[in-house]
């Protein structure tokens, strides 16, 4: 049933195709004759659709006719009705010629129409009219300026003539100044007698043009009404005339030189606008002629393609079967297949020779490819082994910046869990992608991974059209450098400030003791001032002590301690001082031990609890009772201490809170969290600041109990050495250390 479908479809198509072609022609005629005014071009999209529909219908008719001819020629061949290669080649060549021809013609039509659409659109008219208006605007502005000058000057002259006469020697300099002040090119006072003859009374910079050109007789009735006349008819200047005195029929003439090119441009703009309007009237006719010509050329191309297809089919039918059989053997994997070559040097013989060369080279190249693939696989395995062992992250991208290789270190640094091969680098890390855009070979970038900022030192290298990025995580290195720098600053500040504090305090106390009873005027003020000095010196000493503690943090003495006791003591000290805040300690009934420095760890916990208390007390929006909860958990040889409060929460610059001298409170020194972090890191732990669910802050400290256990032995050795040195001081003096 399936094999019979094409035989039933083709006769039906041969009947429907002519009817469809007639319908398309009728619809096209209707659209062309009914689409608006004749001078308005049809929409390029509509014309392209009509052109495509007509062209496609006529192409189908030509292909069907060529198929019918090919069937007759196949029936006369030796294979009879089974020789379908003629028909298939004709159909194939026709389709090959039809599709690109149709696309090219439609594209050419759209390109031409869209390219010329502007010139037949309202925008072009606006452009031409705007250019004409611009030129006219210049003339209009010049006329308006001259109008203002002639009105003002005529008023000044009337005022002057009311007090004197034109024959007065003072009038000529006054008239010249009027011309000079207003930047006029020419000026004259002209009198017209009863016969209509103009006579020159006064002038300034007047050229040789006759007076009747400056004051045409036909303009006298208009000027008699007192209105000025401004014109640009001279072509190189703007002229103005106004009645100065009606009784004596005296007129004032002025002019100002203007750009001859601009005045001529205004005339050319009007001429161009007229030519454009005439062209627009023929726009639709030009549009239809062009598209009809395109359709004729396309049909001619298709006819040539069909003729070529029939000619080629005749020559290919005979030897093509041998080629098909040999090709099937090659497809089955037999690369030794060869075809018999006709001794005549024609295209088929060339094709046979090319086929034989192809199969021979395929055999050679297949062997070479197998060897090359084996070598590539061994090299790839070696490279992967090398990259998996380096600590630096390595990412390779192709020319389109899609990832081709990521080593394990890069996956760990960028927290990549899913496969990323083939993905754009910009989707994985926009910061690394920006380095490629900037073209930098080396750069330091800041990225955020899992909510934590990281600093990477990146190096970019080009390799055969691809790029290889290598990067190291230098976050900790930079933090260590900053802490070392701050420690040096703290040591210097403590050294410079601590020395004068004691003399200041002693001097204030001595003043208070020695002269407190001798002060007769305002003894209370003296007492408060000296007490203030003593108190402020005490505050400064406390700050300096914090500086000193941060700068000279002692090396911890590791011993096995009960961590719950240390935490309970830190909580108890604050609980007694702040009864309004609810304190809780949860260790699930366990009493875990940890190798640590009891004093330092207690100091760290005390600082954290103190920070939580201050955050709650200094929060103006704190309405609910303050709550501070500490939990201690042990799992998989790791001990975690979490301190949570319901205070205001962390500020936006939370990642910098553990840096020295970074504080958000008014009286803070910024050293508390820096000291806590130093103590935690000395205990091989990690410190994290997070938001508490429901509001507030959570501080998490995580310690590796197994790693700390190895430090207990070293701590005992150091403690024994210290005891020996204390017992025998001469050992320390005579030793090396």
Q: What is the average pLDDT across 23-52?
A: 74
* Spatial separation of the C-alpha atoms in residues 468 and 161, rounded to whole Å: 92
* Least confident range of 271-280, 400-409, 412-421, 473-482: 271-280
- Phi/psi for 232 (5° steps) reads -120, 25
Is residue 696 located within the same domain as residue 597?
Answer: yes
SS (H, E, C) 651-709: CCCHHHCCCCCCCCCCCCCCCHHHHHHHHHHHCCEEEEEEECCCCCEEEEEEEEHHHHH
CATH code at position 518: 3.30.450.20
Q: 26: helix, coil or strand?
A: helix
* Least confident range of 58-67, 244-253, 373-382, 674-683: 373-382
Percent of the chain with pLDDT over 90: 6
Is residue 691 located within the same domain as residue 569?
Answer: yes
Find out whether 393 and 413 touch, Cβ atoms under 8 Å.
yes
Find out whether 505 and 531 touch, Cβ atoms under 8 Å.
no
For residue 100, pLDDT over 70 is answered with yes
* Spatial separation of the C-alpha atoms in residues 397 and 677, rounded to whole Å: 38
Instruction: List Cα–Cα distances, 580 to 114, 553, 574, in angstroms.
Output: 80, 34, 11
Q: What is the average pLDDT across 11-21?
A: 82
For residue 644, pLDDT over 90 is answered with yes
Q: What is the average pLDDT across 90-106?
A: 79
Taking alpha carbons only, the member of 433, 376, 430 closest to residue 400 is 433
pLDDT, tens digit, 9 for 90 and up, residues 693-730:
888 899 999 999 888 888 775 545 554 444 444 444 43
CATH code at position 153: 3.30.450.40
Is residue 215 located within the same domain as residue 192?
Answer: yes
Burial label, 498 (beta-carbon count in 10 A; 0-12, 13-18, 19+): middle
For residue 507, pLDDT over 70 is answered with yes
Question: What pLDDT, on a 0 to 100 scale, did the predictor assign at position 411?
Answer: 74
Total structural domains in the chain?
Answer: 5
pLDDT, tens digit, 9 for 90 and up, residues 369-383:
878 877 777 776 666
* Percentages (nearest 5) of helix, strand, coil residues in the chain: 60, 15, 25
Q: Which residue has the tokens 């007639």?
A: 22
Instruction: List Cα–Cα distances, 71 to 66, 79, 530, in angstroms.
Output: 9, 12, 122
Q: Is residue 710 part of a domain?
A: yes
Q: What is the average pLDDT across 106-111?
A: 78
Q: Which two tokens stand for residue 493?
A: 């500040």
Q: What is the average pLDDT across 91-98?
A: 78
Taking alpha carbons only, the member of 536, 540, 515 closest to residue 525 is 515
pLDDT, tens digit, 9 for 90 and up, residues 614-632:
888 877 777 778 899 999 9
Question: What pLDDT, on a 0 to 100 scale, did the predictor assign at position 642?
Answer: 95
Taking alpha carbons only, the member of 185, 143, 171, 145 closest to residue 244 is 171
Is residue 574 located within the same domain as residue 642?
Answer: yes
Q: Is residue 22 part of a domain?
A: yes
Task: Identify the H or E element spanning 557.
Answer: none
Q: Is residue 271 part of a domain?
A: no
Taking alpha carbons only, the member of 65, 62, 59 closest to residue 106 is 59
Q: Is residue 620 part of a domain?
A: yes
Q: Which residue has the tokens 């106004």?
A: 242
**Mean pLDDT (the chain, rounded):** 76
Is residue 698 located within the same domain as residue 568?
Answer: yes
Show the domain range for 350.
Answer: 336-389
The distance in angstroms from the start CA to the end CA of the chain is 103
Taking alpha carbons only, the member of 137, 122, 157, 114 closest to residue 244 is 157
Is residue 281 located within the same domain as residue 355?
Answer: no
Is residue 419 located within the same domain as residue 539?
Answer: yes
Task: Provide the H-helix boundaries in 259-282.
Answer: 260-280
Is residue 561 located within the same domain as residue 646?
Answer: yes
Of 224, 258, 292, which residue sits at a domain end?
258
Question: What pLDDT, on a 0 to 100 scale, did the predictor assign at position 632?
Answer: 94
pLDDT, tens digit, 9 for 90 and up, residues 446-491:
777 766 677 777 887 777 667 887 777 766 666 666 666 666 666 6
Is residue 364 located within the same domain as residue 433?
Answer: no
Q: 71: helix, coil or strand?
A: helix
Q: Which two tokens stand for residue 686?
A: 């990690």
For residue 83, pLDDT over 80 is answered with no
For residue 673, pLDDT over 60 is answered with yes
Of 529, 552, 575, which residue sits at a domain end?
552
Other CB atoms within a 10 A radius of the CB of residue 503 amount to 10
Is residue 403 located within the same domain as residue 469?
Answer: yes
Is residue 527 located within the same domain as residue 632?
Answer: no
Of 526, 552, 578, which residue sits at a domain end?
552
Q: Is residue 444 part of a domain?
A: yes
Other CB atoms within a 10 A radius of the CB of residue 672 amount to 23
* Torsional class of 200: left (φ above 0), alpha (ψ -120 to 50), beta (otherwise): beta
Taking alpha carbons only, the member of 662, 657, 664, 670 closest to residue 547 is 670
Question: What pLDDT, on a 0 to 100 scale, did the predictor assign at position 702?
Answer: 94
Q: Is residue 96 part of a domain?
A: yes
Q: Which residue has the tokens 């080593």?
A: 407
Q: Which two tokens stand for residue 109?
A: 């039509």
Taking alpha carbons only, the member of 255, 257, 263 closest to residue 150 is 255
Taking alpha carbons only, the member of 22, 42, 194, 161 closest to residue 110 is 42
Is residue 313 located within the same domain as residue 346?
Answer: no
Residue with the larger pLDDT of the pair 183 and 262: 183
Q: Is residue 725 part of a domain?
A: no
Q: Which residue has the tokens 């501080």?
A: 699
Beta strands in 82-236 (DSSP E): 186-192, 198-204, 229-231
Q: Is residue 127 part of a domain?
A: no
Question: What pLDDT, on a 0 to 100 scale, did the predictor assign at position 630?
Answer: 94
Percent of the chain with pLDDT over 70: 71
Question: What pLDDT, on a 0 to 100 scale, did the predictor assign at position 724?
Answer: 45
Provide DSSP, 625-654: PPEEEEEEEEETTEEEEEEEE-SS---TTG
């Amino acid at each position: 049933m399936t094999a019979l479908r094409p035989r039933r479809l083709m006769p039906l198509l041969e009947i429907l195709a002519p009817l469809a072609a007639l319908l398309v022609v009728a619809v096209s005629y209707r659209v062309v004759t009914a689409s608006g005014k004749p001078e308005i071009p049809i929409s390029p999209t509509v014309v392209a659709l009509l052109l495509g529909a007509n062209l496609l219908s006529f192409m189908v008719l030509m292909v069907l006719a060529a198929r019918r001819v090919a069937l007759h020629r196949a029936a006369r061949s030796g294979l009879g009705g089974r020789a379908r290669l003629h028909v298939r080649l004709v159909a194939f060549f026709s389709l090959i010629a039809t599709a690109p021809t149709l696309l090219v013609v439609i594209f050419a039509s759209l390109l031409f129409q869209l390219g010329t659409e502007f010139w037949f659109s309202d925008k072009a008219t606006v452009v031409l009219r705007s250019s004409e208006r611009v030129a006219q605007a210049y003339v209009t502005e010049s006329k308006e300026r001259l109008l203002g000058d002639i009105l003002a000057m005529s008023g000044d002259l009337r005022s002057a003539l009311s007090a004197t006469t034109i024959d007065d020697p003072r009038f000529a300099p006054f008239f010249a100044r009027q011309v000079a002040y207003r930047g006029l090119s020419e000026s004259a006072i002209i009198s017209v007698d009863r016969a209509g003859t103009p006579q020159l009374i006064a002038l300034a910079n007047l050229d040789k043009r006759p007076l009747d050109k400056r004051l045409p007789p036909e303009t006298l009735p208009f000027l008699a009404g007192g209105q000025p006349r401004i014109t640009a008819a001279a072509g190189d200047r703007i002229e103005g005339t106004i009645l100065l005195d009606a009784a004596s029929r005296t007129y004032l003439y002025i002019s100002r030189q203007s750009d001859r090119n601009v005045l001529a441009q205004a005339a050319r703009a009007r001429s161009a606008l007229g030519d454009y309007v005439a062209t627009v009237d023929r726009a639709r006719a030009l549009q239809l002629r062009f598209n009809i010509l395109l359709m004729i050329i396309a049909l001619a191309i298709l006819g040539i393609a069909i003729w070529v297809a029939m000619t080629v089919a005749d020559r290919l039918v005979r030897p093509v079967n041998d080629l098909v059989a040999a090709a099937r053997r090659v497809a089955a994997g037999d690369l030794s297949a060869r075809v018999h070559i006709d001794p005549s040097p024609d295209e088929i013989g060339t094709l046979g020779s090319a086929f034989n060369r192809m199969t021979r080279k395929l055999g050679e190249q297949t062997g070479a490819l197998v060897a090359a693939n084996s070598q590539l696989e061994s090299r790839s395995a070696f490279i992967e082994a090398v990259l998996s062992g380096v600590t630096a992250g390595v990412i390779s991208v192709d020319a389109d910046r899609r990832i081709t290789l990521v080593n394990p270190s890069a996956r760990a640094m960028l927290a990549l869990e899913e496969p990323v091969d083939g993905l754009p680098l910009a989707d994985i890390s926009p910061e690394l992608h920006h380095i490629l855009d900037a073209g930098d070979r080396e750069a330091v970038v800041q990225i955020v991974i899992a909510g934590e900022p990281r600093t990477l030192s990146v190096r970019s290298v080009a390799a055969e059209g691809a790029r290889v990025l290598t990067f190291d995580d230098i976050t900790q290195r930079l933090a260590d450098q900053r802490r070392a720098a701050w420690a040096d600053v703290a040591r210097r500040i403590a050294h410079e400030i601590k020395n004068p504090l004691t003399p200041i305090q002693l001097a204030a106390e001595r003043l208070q003791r020695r002269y407190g009873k001798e002060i007769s005027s305002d003894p209370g003020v003296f007492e408060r001032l000296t007490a203030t000095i003593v108190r402020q010196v005490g505050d400064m000493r406390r700050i300096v002590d914090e500086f000193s503690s941060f700068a000279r943090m002692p090396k911890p003495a590791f011993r096995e301690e009960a961590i719950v006791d240390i935490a309970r003591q830190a909580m108890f000290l604050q609980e007694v001082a702040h009864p309004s805040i609810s304190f809780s300690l949860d260790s699930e009934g366990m009493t875990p031990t940890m190798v640590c420095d009891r004093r330092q760890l207690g100091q760290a916990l005390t600082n954290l609890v103190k920070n939580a208390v201050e955050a709650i007390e200094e929060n103006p929006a704190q309405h609910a009772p303050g709550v501070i909860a500490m939990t201690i958990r042990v799992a998989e040889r790791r001990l975690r201490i979490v301190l949570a409060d319901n205070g205001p929460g962390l500020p936006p610059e939370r990642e910098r809170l553990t840096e020295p001298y970074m504080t958000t409170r008014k009286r803070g020194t910024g050293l508390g969290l820096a000291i806590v972090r130093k103590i935690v890191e000395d205990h091989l732990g990690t410190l994290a600041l997070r938001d508490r669910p429901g509001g507030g802050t959570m501080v998490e400290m995580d310690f590796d109990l197994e790693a700390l256990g190895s430090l207990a032995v070293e701590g005992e050795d150091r403690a024994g050495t210290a005891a020996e040195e204390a017992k025998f001081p001469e050992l320390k003096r005579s030793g090396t250390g």
